[in-house]
Structure 1
Amino acid sequence: MLNMKGSVHMPFVTIELLEGRTPEQKRELMEKITKVVCETVNVPAERVHVFIEDLKKDHYAVAGKFMSDPKE
Protein backbone atom coordinates (compact mmCIF):
# COMPACT_ATOMS: atom_id res chain seq x y z
CA MET A 1 0.00 0.00 0.00
CA LEU A 2 1.64 3.19 -1.13
CA ASN A 3 0.36 6.68 -0.56
CA MET A 4 0.66 9.55 -3.04
CA LYS A 5 4.30 10.23 -2.06
CA GLY A 6 5.39 6.59 -2.31
CA SER A 7 5.71 5.85 1.41
CA VAL A 8 4.20 2.74 2.95
CA HIS A 9 1.02 3.12 5.01
CA MET A 10 0.95 1.71 8.51
CA PRO A 11 -1.98 -0.64 9.02
CA PHE A 12 -3.51 -0.41 12.50
CA VAL A 13 -5.55 -3.33 13.84
CA THR A 14 -7.53 -3.12 17.07
CA ILE A 15 -8.90 -6.27 18.66
CA GLU A 16 -11.36 -6.12 21.54
CA LEU A 17 -11.54 -9.21 23.75
CA LEU A 18 -13.17 -9.98 27.04
CA GLU A 19 -10.55 -10.07 29.77
CA GLY A 20 -9.04 -13.38 30.74
CA ARG A 21 -6.74 -14.35 27.84
CA THR A 22 -3.18 -15.29 28.73
CA PRO A 23 -0.20 -13.30 27.46
CA GLU A 24 0.73 -16.35 25.36
CA GLN A 25 -2.69 -16.38 23.69
CA LYS A 26 -2.45 -12.66 22.98
CA ARG A 27 1.07 -13.03 21.58
CA GLU A 28 -0.01 -15.83 19.25
CA LEU A 29 -3.04 -13.82 18.11
CA MET A 30 -0.88 -10.74 17.41
CA GLU A 31 1.66 -12.80 15.45
CA LYS A 32 -1.04 -14.41 13.32
CA ILE A 33 -2.90 -11.14 12.70
CA THR A 34 0.39 -9.48 11.70
CA LYS A 35 1.16 -12.30 9.24
CA VAL A 36 -2.28 -12.09 7.62
CA VAL A 37 -2.11 -8.29 7.31
CA CYS A 38 1.36 -8.50 5.73
CA GLU A 39 0.22 -11.10 3.20
CA THR A 40 -3.06 -9.35 2.42
CA VAL A 41 -2.00 -5.73 2.05
CA ASN A 42 1.63 -6.35 1.11
CA VAL A 43 3.41 -4.46 3.89
CA PRO A 44 6.39 -5.50 6.03
CA ALA A 45 5.70 -6.69 9.58
CA GLU A 46 7.51 -3.63 10.96
CA ARG A 47 4.64 -1.48 9.63
CA VAL A 48 1.80 -3.46 11.23
CA HIS A 49 0.50 -2.17 14.57
CA VAL A 50 -1.80 -4.47 16.54
CA PHE A 51 -3.62 -3.31 19.67
CA ILE A 52 -5.51 -5.58 22.03
CA GLU A 53 -8.09 -3.99 24.29
CA ASP A 54 -9.17 -6.12 27.23
CA LEU A 55 -12.81 -5.46 28.01
CA LYS A 56 -13.81 -5.89 31.62
CA LYS A 57 -16.73 -8.25 31.91
CA ASP A 58 -18.65 -5.62 33.90
CA HIS A 59 -18.13 -3.07 31.10
CA TYR A 60 -19.79 -5.19 28.42
CA ALA A 61 -23.37 -6.43 28.16
CA VAL A 62 -25.46 -8.50 25.78
CA ALA A 63 -29.25 -8.20 25.89
CA GLY A 64 -28.91 -5.93 28.92
CA LYS A 65 -26.92 -8.46 30.94
CA PHE A 66 -23.31 -7.88 31.95
CA MET A 67 -20.92 -10.60 30.92
CA SER A 68 -19.94 -10.73 34.62
CA ASP A 69 -23.52 -11.54 35.70
CA PRO A 70 -24.12 -15.11 36.87
CA LYS A 71 -25.42 -17.34 34.08
CA GLU A 72 -28.94 -18.65 34.57
Structure 2
Amino acid sequence: MPIVTIQITREGSTPGTSAATAEEKAALIKGVSELLRDVLNKPLTSTFVVIDEVETENWGRGGLPVDQFRQQQNGGVPE
Protein backbone atom coordinates (compact mmCIF):
# COMPACT_ATOMS: atom_id res chain seq x y z
CA MET A 1 0.00 0.00 0.00
CA PRO A 2 1.94 3.05 -1.20
CA ILE A 3 1.50 6.31 0.66
CA VAL A 4 2.82 9.38 -1.16
CA THR A 5 3.12 12.79 0.49
CA ILE A 6 3.41 15.83 -1.77
CA GLN A 7 4.52 19.04 -0.08
CA ILE A 8 3.86 22.30 -1.90
CA THR A 9 3.86 25.90 -0.81
CA ARG A 10 0.42 27.37 -0.19
CA GLU A 11 0.18 29.79 -3.07
CA GLY A 12 -1.83 29.88 -6.22
CA SER A 13 -0.56 29.02 -9.65
CA THR A 14 -2.60 31.78 -11.28
CA PRO A 15 -3.32 35.40 -10.31
CA GLY A 16 -6.08 35.74 -7.75
CA THR A 17 -5.61 32.31 -6.18
CA SER A 18 -3.95 31.69 -2.84
CA ALA A 19 -3.63 27.89 -2.95
CA ALA A 20 -3.68 24.98 -5.36
CA THR A 21 -7.17 24.49 -6.75
CA ALA A 22 -9.24 21.35 -6.27
CA GLU A 23 -8.64 20.56 -9.95
CA GLU A 24 -4.86 20.91 -9.59
CA LYS A 25 -4.88 18.68 -6.51
CA ALA A 26 -7.00 16.08 -8.31
CA ALA A 27 -4.51 16.11 -11.20
CA LEU A 28 -1.60 15.58 -8.78
CA ILE A 29 -3.40 12.68 -7.10
CA LYS A 30 -4.30 11.08 -10.41
CA GLY A 31 -0.83 11.56 -11.89
CA VAL A 32 1.06 10.13 -8.92
CA SER A 33 -1.34 7.21 -8.58
CA GLU A 34 -1.05 6.36 -12.28
CA LEU A 35 2.75 6.64 -12.11
CA LEU A 36 2.88 4.08 -9.29
CA ARG A 37 0.53 1.83 -11.24
CA ASP A 38 2.60 2.09 -14.42
CA VAL A 39 6.06 1.80 -12.84
CA LEU A 40 5.49 -0.45 -9.82
CA ASN A 41 2.25 -2.21 -10.84
CA LYS A 42 0.46 -0.84 -7.76
CA PRO A 43 -3.35 -0.83 -8.00
CA LEU A 44 -4.94 2.62 -7.98
CA THR A 45 -7.20 1.50 -5.13
CA SER A 46 -4.25 0.76 -2.85
CA THR A 47 -2.43 4.08 -3.34
CA PHE A 48 -2.89 6.93 -0.89
CA VAL A 49 -1.80 10.48 -1.75
CA VAL A 50 -1.56 13.25 0.84
CA ILE A 51 -1.09 16.85 -0.29
CA ASP A 52 0.46 19.04 2.39
CA GLU A 53 0.29 22.75 1.65
CA VAL A 54 2.89 24.71 3.62
CA GLU A 55 2.73 28.47 4.15
CA THR A 56 5.66 30.17 2.42
CA GLU A 57 6.75 31.63 5.77
CA ASN A 58 7.32 28.04 6.94
CA TRP A 59 9.35 27.00 3.88
CA GLY A 60 13.05 27.73 3.48
CA ARG A 61 15.58 27.39 0.71
CA GLY A 62 19.25 28.29 0.56
CA GLY A 63 19.28 29.33 4.22
CA LEU A 64 16.47 31.85 3.74
CA PRO A 65 12.68 31.93 3.96
CA VAL A 66 11.49 31.03 0.46
CA ASP A 67 10.06 34.50 -0.26
CA GLN A 68 13.44 36.10 0.51
CA PHE A 69 15.25 33.44 -1.52
CA ARG A 70 13.02 34.11 -4.53
CA GLN A 71 13.50 37.86 -4.20
CA GLN A 72 17.27 37.36 -4.09
CA GLN A 73 17.10 35.17 -7.20
CA ASN A 74 15.03 37.83 -9.00
CA GLY A 75 17.66 40.52 -8.43
CA GLY A 76 15.90 41.97 -5.40
CA VAL A 77 12.53 42.31 -7.12
CA PRO A 78 9.65 40.81 -5.08
CA GLU A 79 7.40 38.35 -6.91
| Pairwise TM-score range, normalised by the shorter structure | 0.7 to 0.9
Give the length in aligned residue pairs. 63
- Offset, 1:65: 2.1
TM-score (norm. length: structure 2): 0.69
Q: Name the Cα RMSD after superposition.
A: 1.6
Q: Percent identity?
A: 22
Long gaps (5+) in structure 2:
12-19
Counterpart Cα distance in 2 of 1:15 and 1:24: 15
Counterpart Cα distance in 2 of 1:43 and 1:26: 20
Counterpart Cα distance in 1 of 2:4 and 2:49: 5
As a proportion of its length, which structure holds more helix? 2
SS in 2 for 1:14: strand
Long gaps (5+) in structure 1:
1-9
